[in-house]
Copies of this chain bind each other. A is one copy, B any other.
């Protein structure tokens, strides 16, 4: 065994593509699973025996060449499921006598909470999974799509299932942004509002004898904007600058 490249033990999760006809889809699928932290890819009966090294495959795999390098090609789904304890078929149309059909988001959390070694099995671009292959699976996953146009590209179906499985396993963190500055406290916001009330009177926009709903409206805007302390300082700086720029009022100087 070489060093592990993916963060999840590969024996927990396997992606199986049967009867693929487009090399680009194999590469895109490799990238799709790697980006979600998986790395075990098995192909059953691909159209091209050299699919793992084709130019189109490698181009679509982008930085997932290591997944292609470790991928295996086997003759039957039974071979591909060696070591797997729970197999999920993916199919748009449920089959008579097939396993129950569930949406990934409904079914995967319970599966993730267990300790099964799970395979996700995808059919070819043209005909989907063969019935006999569906029968080998414990569950059928169906990605909910628009009525009348449910035609997901193979690599994109792989992407959604890999994403949902990763989410079910606990997910990755979103790249943490620069710490978002805290909102100013209510006292600072109310002082800001009081300051601007002065300015609005000074500039003749607010008549203290008939204030109408101007202050409540500004208050609501500020509550919604939830300014930071720095932003409060900026708005007060503007208020001061306006006041300084005004001509001296009668009775003031």
Is A151 positioned at the interface, with any CB of B under 8 Å from its CB?
yes
A101 touches B174 (CB 8 A): yes
B94 touches A31 (CB 8 A): no
Q: A14 an interface residue at 8 Å Cβ cutoff? A: no
Query: A114 → chain B, closest Cβ, in Å?
Result: 13
Nearest CB in chain B: distance from A6 CB, A:
7
> Which residues of B lie under 8 Å from residue A62 when comparing CB positions?
151, 153
Against B, the Cβ 8 Å flags (1 = close, 0 = not) of A142-183 are 111111011111011001100100110001111111101000
A143-B156 Cα distance, complex, nearest whole Å: 15
Interface size on A (CB < 8 Å)? 51
Query: Does any Cβ of B come within 8 Å of A102's Cβ?
Result: yes
- Most central of A64, A93, A163, A166 by chain B CB within 10 Å: A163
**Residues B175 and A92 in contact, CB atoms below 8 Å apart:** yes
Instruction: List residues 123-145 of chain A with CB under 8 A from any CB of chain B.
Output: 140, 142-145
What residues of chain B lie closer than 8 Å to A6, measured between beta carbons? 146
A37 at the interface (CB under 8 A from B): yes
A56 CB → nearest B CB, Å:
11
Cα distance, A171 to B103, chains bound together (Å): 10
Question: A96 within 8 Å of B by Cβ?
Answer: yes
A36 at the interface (CB under 8 A from B): yes
CB distance from A122 to the nearest CB of B (A): 15
A142 touches B37 (CB 8 A): no
Say yes or no: B166 contacts A144, CB within 8 Å: yes
In the assembled complex, A200 has its CB within 8 A of some CB on chain B: no
Extra pairs beyond A94-B175, A144-B167 (18, CB < 8 Å): A7-B146, A28-B156, A34-B149, A35-B149, A37-B145, A60-B153, A64-B149, A94-B178, A101-B174, A101-B176, A143-B163, A144-B174, A145-B172, A152-B159, A153-B155, A153-B159, A159-B159, A159-B160
